[in-house]
Amino acid sequence: MKKSLLLGLAAVMGMSLQAQQLTAATQLSHPMKRQSVTLSERAEKASFAAKKAKKVSTKAEAPVTDQPAGVLFDNMYVTSEAYGLGWGDIYYQEVDGGYGAVVVGDDGCLYINGPLSQAYVWGLGYPWIKCEKVEGQDGVYEMTTPQPYALDYGDLYYIERLKFDEDLESYVVDETNNKVRFSWKDNTLTQLDDCFVGLCDETHDWFYMADNSIKYEVNNDKVVEIPSQGYEPADIRMDYKDDPEDLTSEDKKMLTMYAPLDETATAAYLTGLEPNLPDAAVMYQGDEATQQVIFPGGQYLGVDMEYSSHMYLLCGDAKVVGSGDNAYFNYDVTDKLTMTFDEATETTAAPYPASFIVNCGRSKLYIADEFVAPRFTAIEDKAATPADPTGLNVKESSNFDIVKFVIPDVDVQGEELNNKKLFYNIYYNDEVYTFDPELFVGLDAPLTDVPYGFSEPEYDIYMSSSSKVNTIYFYDQGYDKIGVQSVYRGGKQENRSNIVYYHRSTSGIDSLNADVRTVKSETYYNVAGQKVNADASGLVIKKIEFTDGTTATYKVIK
């Protein structure tokens, strides 16, 4: 986020990654989600001792973001060894199933899309990096570095060939060789030189992202398709164990089952296991004689750009590793998951330790989501009036207000609702508010009815998965009151809660939140990170530098 999240980074990140031993880097078992803090802000707020003062680029260089002319190989399956910049640490990852693309250019060159696998975490895009054919070597191309990789709110970053520094504590630009060779044969890209290619700033300092052993292959896996006829959708609830310290603790998730209308059919389908791919289906087969259903492991779900990865449904047996605050689930992968129908409880369940694993890639555990001992229960589709929103609180400040509230997923009687049919509206004074993608850039289209649990990539609108608190960074501040209302569409009816209002303070801005620092300079950028004039129209990013050396970034509509 380009907002209050940054206020806490200095305390959390007050260490220099340059001084860390790379061999001690944490290896992640769960992927980092894409963030929306700018790389420049992150470095400043993190107080990286090794970072040098930024200088304004005078070069005309810019990353190649338009797809080059040629033959496109899209949605390729990427593997590599990588370092990435995380929250408070540098991490190491054996990438499996990353997203990538290659263009065999009409100009005889080869173009690699986004070869720095962990750059997606900080929203640095997917530039095309040029590789020129090596004469006399069949299928060999070389990348000449540096090449522009990302323009991050005025700061230009490059891809460079790297080597260890003298103390073996970090990477530095390899001044003896600026070429990296790749092989392109049988529609497969393979890095030939044993070196890291990484992200560097304009001073040629390494910016904590790098890859080695890069390989792009065509992914021939196909997503599961639900037949267009002969299947009827029905909502179900999945309960599952969510706490390795307490195996009696459970959470829930609403899914959609597609059951066959033909009683002789043995295959059925399920959607909703992957939140960023809500329509991704998995297939399961039923056995009437044993009252069992079987989910094959390894089913392909598609590409989730929040993780920049090909996603798969794996099956496994859970095991608790560690204890106390360090406890977590790990898994022995299995080829299937078997569930049994219980007529007495009308549930279909898999006993512990059987589990579903939503995984980045097919070959290594890199877990995006996990459902231990899943249990399915049918949901009755009935009309209900949702309970009123709770905890509405607005923190007012000079450039945006932070709106927080909870949408209970129960009705006025306290009965559970199907949260797939639960929405909320925001009221601006007495009018229903529509979120405009020009201001809320993480949206693809205007949004009025916000689904329960909705989060968009820029985190201007999101719900915490743990606390269930919704947060909105609200830029339209000309209201006297702001309200929130729950909307439930069940049983072929729409029912609404009362509108819960917050009334804006008479003083306008809470003095505790007012910005009292002295402004040194103001710089404006468009959403692509290009510097623009202060009078530019539309949505612009305003970056303020204060005399105390700190900075702040805001969205502005003109």
Separation of alpha carbons 352 and 203, rounded Å: 54
What integer is the mean pLDDT of 361-381?
96
Beta strands in 382-517 (DSSP E): 390-395, 401-406, 422-428, 431-432, 450-451, 461-463, 469-474, 481-490, 493-496, 500-503
Q: Are 75 and 303 in contact (CB under 8 A)?
A: yes
pLDDT above 90 (res 425): yes
Looking at residue 183, its pLDDT comes to: 98
Encoding tokens for residue 385?
């009036």
Separation of alpha carbons 462 and 121, rounded Å: 17
- For tokens 């690699």, name the residue: 112
Looking at residue 530, its pLDDT comes to: 63
Is the peptide bond prior to 127 cis by the omega test (within 30 degrees of 0)? Answer: no
What integer is the mean pLDDT of 349-361?
98
Reported pTM: 0.83
CA angle 380, 385, 389 (to 5 degrees): 120
Least confident of 268-282, 450-464, 494-508: 494-508
Separation of alpha carbons 197 and 80, rounded Å: 11
pLDDT above 50 (res 47): no
Give DSSP secondary structure letters for 226-279: --SSSEEEEEEEEEEE--TT-TT-EEEEEEEEEEESSTT--EEEEE-SSTTSTT
Separation of alpha carbons 533 and 524, rounded Å: 6
For residue range 186-219, list pLDDT tens digits in order: 999 999 999 999 999 999 999 889 999 999 999 9
3-state class percentages of the chain: helix first, strand second, coil last, to nearest 5: 5, 50, 45
Q: How confident is the model at residue 9 (pLDDT cuts 50, 70, 90)?
A: very low
Burial profile 325-342: b = 16 or more Cβ within 10 angstroms, e = fewer:
eeeebbbebbeebbbebe
Q: How confident is the model at residue 475 (pLDDT cuts 50, 70, 90)?
A: confident
CA angle 275, 389, 3 (to 5 degrees): 60
Mean pLDDT of the chain: 86
Looking at residue 538, its pLDDT comes to: 60
Separation of alpha carbons 29 and 302, rounded Å: 20
Q: How confident is the model at residue 24 (pLDDT cuts 50, 70, 90)?
A: low
Task: Give the residue from 235, 306, 305, 297 showing the smallest Cα distance to 271.
Answer: 235
Looking at residue 244, its pLDDT comes to: 96
List all residues 6 or more positions away from 510 whose beta carbon is below 8 Å from its beta carbon.
395, 396, 397
C-alpha dist (Å) from residue 155 to 52, 177, 239, 313, 542: 12, 25, 46, 39, 14
pLDDT above 70 (res 268): yes
pLDDT above 90 (res 540): no
Give 50 or 446, the one with higher predicted confidence. Answer: 446
Task: Give the residue from 393, 383, 409 showing the smallest Cα distance to 483.
Answer: 393
Give DSSP secondary structure letters for 275-295: TTSTT-EEEEEEETTTTEEEE
Task: Give the residue from 243, 445, 488, 257 showing the smallest Cα distance to 352.
Answer: 243
CA-based radius of gyration for the chain: 26
Least confident of 34-38, 176-180, 237-241, 302-306: 34-38
Q: Are 251 and 244 in contact (CB under 8 A)?
A: no
Looking at residue 7, its pLDDT comes to: 25
pLDDT above 90 (res 385): yes
pLDDT above 50 (res 128): yes
Separation of alpha carbons 210 and 94, rounded Å: 12
Percent of the chain scoring above 90 in pLDDT: 67
Separation of alpha carbons 149 and 182, rounded Å: 18
Q: Which pairing describes strands 469-474 and 401-406: parallel, antiparallel, or unpaired?
A: antiparallel
Looking at residue 434, its pLDDT comes to: 97
Which secondary-structure segment (H or E) carries 66?
A: none
Separation of alpha carbons 497 and 483, rounded Å: 12
Separation of alpha carbons 184 and 439, rounded Å: 42
Least confident of 45-54, 208-217, 299-308: 45-54
Looking at residue 554, its pLDDT comes to: 61
